Structure 1
């Protein structure tokens, strides 16, 4: 890899180390990341490059910018795999960073992106994408019912799926009702978001924002996914969620439409779907991770229902200006 980097970019990498999932090296106070991109087509890659150029020009801190090869290409190939090289300052993360405030500022800039977005566009597509995902998993579930014998993971999947099917249908209906009942405000226009935003997306020890993580969507995507992450990772998730939302809202006040969209996304059991899908895509030696995760998800389903109830109460009691509809069966 070091030889290829030298050939493609004329950059001599002294030593490769791992940061997260990526190979990296440091040269003259600059950190370089080598990122595999087989999952991206050329048009997607160019949109992500445009996002990173725009955010860098608008002084968003810690953006990793894509480095062009000596031939002015965005990527290089090695062993049938496509890669990009990105660079950023080798900054250590400061303690006390307010993630809600920083995310709101990031979204503020992203909303002003001036060009047409096609391949990475997700805004307005949640209903279609959720229904498609739900239909696929339901078909797979029906196959599994008739393909006995089942192992322990598959039994848990077969028994639990109807509950999560109902939750997903609630989420889709809540989304449809939101789009019918509430008018989007300027805050609800599309912005640069992340595939799955959580506390490790911008890396725990260093400051870096990788454009390969991005899509163009409603800000509620990142807010909901960060709150979902807090539920599973933090003991005191209610307090952390409140402070995160409060910090975001103080920086960029959210609309009622935003709060309802966030709730619809929290209702959609993405964590369950990703666990089931991950298990069947995983290598044999990785399946145990998903077995443990599914057991945890199922054990904490009542706690997650309470979290969903708390969201609507939190908005009413803390903000005193937002009341959004509840889901009837959750509050009984």
Structure 2
């Protein structure tokens, strides 16, 4: 079978999935500890990494590295999506340890600064490439725009970190690297776990809606967040760093990072061009975001964009 791009096998009531990995063993160990905790607390659909016959977590074949994840069963919660994610964060916040390698809690500013510096260095190297493809020319022409957005996001999260209106749900919890509705799928793959502020998952779920031109996207976003807040109300601090994360063009950086490892083609050019054109929708959504979710930024003394 194939589930969420993971190649898998079912043997009796056991499921096994093979996935490539670029992570070291200690990271998979931390993923596993999180997985064990979640499984013990009712998330039976979590797939955790198992050792091979040589008692190693990573298997190397033809100079490529792989892991195997095992799950005992698949299941889904009978709740709205927002409530599902809130309960997952509620459980993940009870995890009794602070991971050393998969935790990004409180580090967004420094991580974004590092990300921007790395991409600026890559940009400089691409200026010398000849001949330049259409994708490369488009990347070079639009990269200053990414720099501006990222610098805005860094400044916004820096100021948000001074916010003192926070609450207990602002503590770190088990999250995903990029939340893409994983809780609505039959399996949750532990190699996607991070340990961070819950707003990370909220922002990554909302991000594709902001890119979309669907007339009902505001309704979907508002409904999702309302359902989430039935279980875990968001503080002013949560709202501010949620907005900061949306302001950072992570989706554009993810595309460029992936394109670096692929053959440059016309398809890459058209996909990137389409993503950039959707930024019009995205910026419009950012500008009205607080109004969309029913928050008065003036009354709550929250900075908002005026561009």
**Structure 2 matches for 1:286-325, cutoff 5 A?**
287-317=265-295, 324-325=302-303
Deviations 1:187-222 (A, max 9, x none): 1111111111113x347xx51111000111111111
- Partner residue in 2 for 1:326: 304
3-state SS of paired residue (1:181): coil
Distance 1:282 1:135 in 2: 22
SS in 1 for 2:206: helix
Shift of residue 113, structure 1, vs aligned partner: 0.9
**Residues 16-165 of structure 1: pairs in structure 2 closer than 5 A:** 17-37=1-21, 39-69=22-52, 72-91=55-74, 98-147=80-129, 149-165=131-147
Aligned pair in 2 of structure 1 residues 231, 288: CA closer, same or farther (>3 Å)?
farther
Tell me, yes or no, if the aligned pair for 1:316 and 1:323 is still in contact at 8 Å.
no
Tell me the number of residue pairs that the alignment of Structure 1 and Structure 2 aligns: 306
Q: What CA deviation, in whole Å up to 9, does each residue of 1:86-134 have, x standing for no partner?
A: 222453768x752211111111111111123101111111111111111
CA-CA distance at 1:320 after TM superposition: 12
Q: Map residues 239-250 of structure 1 onto 2, 5 A cutoff.
A: 239-250=219-230
4+ long deviations beyond 4 Å: 68-73, 146-149, 317-323
Q: Within 5 Å, which residues of 2 pair with 1:145-294?
A: 145-147=127-129, 149-199=131-181, 201-202=182-183, 206-232=185-211, 235=214, 236-284=216-264, 287-294=265-272
Q: CA deviation at 1:182?
A: 3.2
Per-residue displacement from partner, 1:147-189 (whole Å, max 9, x unpaired)?
4552211221122112221111110000001112334422111
* TM-score normalised by length of structure 1: 0.83
Q: Is the 8 A contact 1:110 1:192 kept in 2?
A: yes
TM-score by length of 2: 0.89
**Unaligned runs of at least 5 residues, structure 1:** 1-16
Deviation at residue 289 of structure 1 after TM alignment: 4.2
Q: Following the alignment from structure 2 to structure 1, what is the Cα–Cα distance between the partners of residues 152 and 194?
A: 25
How far 1:265 moved relative to its partner? 0.4
Assess, with a 3 A threshold, how the Cα gap between structure 1 residues 131 and 107 changes in structure 2: closer, same or farther.
same
Q: Given that residues 312 and 323 in structure 1 are in contact (C-alpha distance below 8 angstroms), is that contact kept between their aligned partners in structure 2?
A: no
Shift of 1:73: 4.3
- Corresponding residue SS for 2:74: coil
Alignment root-mean-square deviation, CA: 2.6
